[in-house]
Amino acid sequence: MDISTLTFLHEIFQEVQQKQDWRTALDTLFVSLRGSFIFDNVAIYLFDPKTKTPEVVYARAVGRGKTAEADAVWGEALSYEVLENGKMVLMDSKPDARQLGRLTSANLVGFPLYIGSKLSGALVFVRFGGPEYSELHIQIASLQAFWAAALIERRDLQEARAELDSVQRQMRLQDDFVSTISHELRTPLGFIKGYSTSLLRQDTTWDEATQREFLNIIDEEADRLTRLIEDMLESARLQSNTLQFKFSPVRIDALLRDVTVRMKTIHPDIQITLDLQPLPPVRGDAMRLSQVFDNLFTNAIKYAPGSEIIISVRSNGDKIRITITDRGEGIPAAYLPFIFERFYRVPGERTVTGTGLGLYICKQIVMAHHGNIWVESVMGEGTTFIIELSNAPMF
């Protein structure tokens, strides 16, 4: 082997290595060596333990037989053979093709892919219309097989790593949740117990006004407990997919108006600006959608105290877009990707109580409507939640 070949291989190695995405890395690998080893199509089959068959995970056509790219059926039989033997297999098909034209005769070569030390798949090349593979071609192709196996192993490791990260994050959130929830449950229970014990004391008599005040506190705290327990149950049902939805025609503008009136009754001081367009009904679960709007409203009141809340709804082609904006502090950009996760709460000093379930529930409900929900926030300017629902006539 001369120095120029080594330099050439070194350069390709570097280029392939730098590609983050495994498919792009494989593309680079096959394309850059095509000058030395000509083929028309290449496919990678990995053994699927569930179906017990080789499944195509990568296919690319670079030469004359472009139409063969889509299904990669051409290499399937050979991939079985490679997986059975664990060795390179050459297959020449020269049927009566000569009369039919060169593209119908095919030279195939397949190599085993060992991931770790386990035979896990096959890399198959096809060349239509010859010439047959030379010794050098086979060497280059087998080098590509080693490389491809390493790239797939890297892909598997990256995927496993991402899954692990997500499980770890979820576990951290669960831990935080346990401490949040015990605090959240204990606080209202503490009030209820404290005020009812006071009212029941034999040695003290309370005047009528004080009794009413205590009973009001007990009543409010019991409501808070109920809401909390409902949220927890709802989120558990959403996670196990057992929450029932009742779809019927829903007027979103009317629904938003109702939610606004309700909010105004509970919080008479908030300023709400409505920018509603009368819209035809959409297919939805009115109760669940109200729950979404209630949640977003309550969050705006909780996290942007004293701010104006602006609601708008617009028909946008085949979509309805609802926005709920506040002029609060905003959410730092680094936390935005997580706020719809179950139990997630933006870290930091907090005086506002919550469980991190509200936005998770909102997202699941919107998704059950085949809609979309996302957030845009600018620090110091405010936060907007955007919901898009399908406008398609369904009734």
CB of 301 to ligand ADP, least distance (A): 9
Q: Which is nearer to ligand ADP, 263 or 357 (CB)?
A: 357
Q: Which of 366, 277, 274, 382 is nearest to 325 (CA)?
A: 382
Rank residues 247 and 338 by Cβ distance to ligand ADP and give the closer one: 338
Residue nearest to ligand ADP (CB): 354
Residues, the chain, total? 395
Closest C-alpha among 84, 96, 98, 89 to residue 133: 89
Binding mask 344-363 for ligand ADP (x = CB under 6 A): xxx-------xxxxxxx---
91 Cβ neighbours under 8 A, 6+ residues apart: 78, 81, 107, 108, 109, 110
User: What is the nearest approach in angstroms of ligand ADP to the Cβ of residue 241?
Assistant: 20
Q: What mask of x and - would describe binding to ligand ADP in positions 312 to 351, judged by CB under 6 A?
A: --------------x-x--x-------x----xxx-----
Q: How far is CA 345 from CA 173, 356, 380, in A?
A: 9, 5, 19
**How crowded is the C-beta side of 91, counted as CA atoms within 13 Å?**
21
State which residue, 68 or 238, has the beta carbon closest to ligand ADP. Answer: 238
**Of residues 151, 139, 108, 145, the one with CA closest to residue 123:** 145
Residue type, 335: Y
Interface characters, 265-304, with ligand ADP (x: CB under 6 A): ----------------------------------xx--xx
Collapsed DSSP state (helix, strand, coil) of residue 285 = coil
Torsion of CA 160, 141, 17, 73, to 10 degrees: -50
Contact between 107 and ligand ADP by CB under 6 A: the answer reads: no
Within 10 Å of residue 233's Cβ, how many Cβ atoms? Answer: 11
| Residue 121 interacting with ligand ADP (CB under 6 A) | no
Decide if residue 383 touches ligand ADP (CB under 6 A): yes
Cβ 245 to ligand ADP, closest distance in Å? 20
The binding site for ligand ADP (CB under 6 A) comprises 299-300, 303-304, 326, 328, 331, 339, 344-346, 354-360, 383
